[in-house]
A and B are shown apart, each in its own frame.
Chain A
Amino acid sequence: MAEETKVMTMKDAISKYVKDGMTLFISAVWANHAAAAAHEIIRQGKKDLTLIESSPGEIFDQMVGAGCVKRIILSWSANEAFGPGYRFRRAVEKGLIEVEDYSNFGLTAKLMAGAMGIPFMPIMSQKGSSINEIKAFLGENKLKHMECPFTKQKVTLISGINPDVSIIHCQRADLEGNIQTWGSLFSAKWGALSGKTIIASVEEIVDTDTIRRNPELTLAPGFRVAAVVHEPWGAHPGHLFGYHDDDRWFRYMYANFVSDDDGKFKQFLDEWVYGVEDRAGYIANYIKKYGYKRLMRLKPKPFYSDPINYGTYPFDTMHMDI
């Protein structure tokens, strides 16, 4: 067991690592959906943030509506099939925030370049589009075109990015900050690893032996991770594989009856963000309002994969005893 622990509260993690004006990756695509962190950022009144994520949903919408955001680098923003993200939409239409658009591939390639420590990523996508022609606040640093020096093909070079802080919600971590996740990751891996500092909220804190028995699930070893926050239901109303399902109902309500209504939106923040201390308070409010049964319906029934054989290997490899 480690002597030092990276475990802290979300309040402490955000106030220690997130400063006004920073660039943040926050996993907001519902896969590894870092909702608890986004709400804490709103509660602490962070300002002038630049956010980056490939296809953010309602937590970016809420951060925009709460006035935390100056700029967004993205590919897509809405509440998926549930409806448009109206806070985002209106803010762009009124010129309250600036956006820089990529395709999902382009945006994720940008994070991947940053994560790998290279200044750009060549991709064969984004050609023949306004995405490549129209550059907003990144200007000439958005991307370049070039002819491949080997094949003479046209290539798009996507500039890399290293956000000041990357925030992600995962299944589990140990006290040393080794974080593990599974499922379809969308852009979460490159988003998390591109960060200069990584904050991970997790559903469970486990011992290091559990991490070591499944090393392929490790997204980032502890040396990359600054803070771990134990935050059950941290992705709600998004999902986390094996822990909780999307709360389709809650998300439908937000997209259709809250996002486009100034009064309702303010009421939403007052109730679900400012009106609670932390994620535990948020979940307590959910149970109080809608009942424990509705919450527990979001727990998936277990479906375990088969254990795989990694093998153990003997110290004596010359087999002289035979």
Chain B
Amino acid sequence: MTDQKYAKDFTLPELMIAAGAREIKDGERVLIGVGLPLLSAMLAKRTHAPNSKMAYETGSFDSLPSRTPFSVVDPDLVPRAIFAGQLTDIMALFLQRGFVDVGFVGGAQVDKYGNLNSTCFGDYFKPDVRFPGSGGAHDFGTFAKRSLIVMVHEKRRFVEKCDYVTTPGYLRGGNSRYEEGLPEGTGPAAVISTRGVFRFSPETKEMYLETFHPGLTVDSVKENVNWDLKVSPIVRETEPPTEEQLRITRELDPEGFFLRRGEYNKKIKAQAENMGWL
């Protein structure tokens, strides 16, 4: 990719999609959920990782979708797939057996050891905000060799301790994840947020800043984290998407459902009003 030109004009979601794609190596099996990670995986497959294979908890493996799926239950993930089964096939026969390399997970809150909350803000029984819940995230984060966390970065979301641990990261740091009985050789590899890319210390398992997104600084990222964030000695700006990555990303989402949600929403709303939708 080094011989390729970097794009100059790109949006934050496009930057994050490229960052996610770079985490996938050729030939890897990747479990993905809804949204941006789907585009990262599709982008990787069309660029540096043509032999990567995607699995969906719905039951499909190595699909050849003719459109970008909006959801992991898109019916287009079945025709021409290598395998179409059910959730327990993917979760038990693929994931629990250790055959999945990369799992993408999202969350509403993350702590310094990469534990993730996608269930609620506040008390579980009287939540300030109720989020959808685990879905497959917990299972991906448990068994995938490398889990990748993709999330919106606000100060209240990067906390010392999560209100609820939906998906275990490195628990209390050090070896605590494996002492709890989670499989050796698994755990979060990176957090790709709207402000930067973070990794975890091999010994302490504490999160540190590896790169900050263009236009930001180390300090501006640190200000939006609720603990004293450690910073890589070679901290730098996040690598922008190449022109090729950007072109393919945009081809994957021509309507802007993922990439230009605000604009998309306005367009659909106008059409809905025209058609008397309620």
Contact = CB atoms under 8 A, between A and B. Distances in A.
Contact of A81 (B34, B92, B143, B268): B34
A171 interface: no
Interface of A: 29-31, 54-55, 74-78, 80-82, 84-85, 88-89, 92-93, 95, 99, 101-106, 108-109, 112, 123-131, 134, 136, 153-154, 182-190, 238-241, 245-246, 248-249, 252-253, 256-258, 264, 267-268, 271, 289-290, 300, 303
Most chain B C-beta atoms within 10 Å of own C-beta, residue among A102, A185, A245, A271: A185
B192 to A, nearest CB: 18
B133 A101 contact: yes
A93 B127 contact: yes
B132 A84 contact: yes
A93 B79 CA distance: 40
B117 to A, nearest CB: 8
A268 B125 contact: no
9 contacts: A30-B73, A77-B132, A81-B35, A105-B96, A106-B138, A128-B142, A128-B168, A252-B268, A303-B79
B142 A125 contact: yes
B85 interface: yes
A271 B59 contact: no
A92 to B, nearest CB: 4
B164 interface: yes
B124 A130 contact: yes
Contacts of B234: none
Interface residues of B, number: 65
B88 interface: yes
Contacts of A188: 86
A160 to B, nearest CB: 14
Most chain B C-beta atoms within 10 Å of own C-beta, residue among A82, A88, A129, A238: A129
6 smallest CB-CB distances across A and B, nearest first, come from A154-B181, A184-B59, A76-B135, A128-B168, A103-B138, A185-B86
Interface string B84-101: 111110011001100000
A130 B164 contact: yes
Contacts of A85: 132
B96 A131 contact: no
Given A75-B133, A78-B132, A257-B277, A30 B84 contact: no
Given A80-B70, A103-B138, A184 B58 contact: yes
A238 B124 CA distance: 30
Most chain A C-beta atoms within 10 Å of own C-beta, residue among B134, B168, B265: B134
A104 B135 contact: yes
A145 to B, nearest CB: 9
B129 to A, nearest CB: 7
B183 A80 contact: no
Interface of B: 34-35, 56-60, 70-75, 77-79, 84-88, 91-92, 95-96, 119, 124-139, 142-143, 164-168, 171, 177, 180-183, 257-258, 265, 268-269, 272, 275-278
A186 B71 CA distance: 13
B275 A186 contact: no
B278 A258 contact: yes
Given A93-B127, A134-B164, A186 B86 contact: yes
A267 B86 CA distance: 36
Nearest to A187: B87
Contacts of A241: 75, 78
Nearest to A77: B132
Nearest to A264: B278
B35 A257 contact: no
Contact of A130 (B34, B166, B268, B277): B166
Contact of B134 (A104, A190, A252, A256): A104
A125 B70 contact: no
Nearest to B168: A128
A103 B136 contact: yes
A194 to B, nearest CB: 12
Given A74-B133, A104-B87, A264-B278, A81 B58 contact: no
Contacts of A130: 119, 124, 164-166
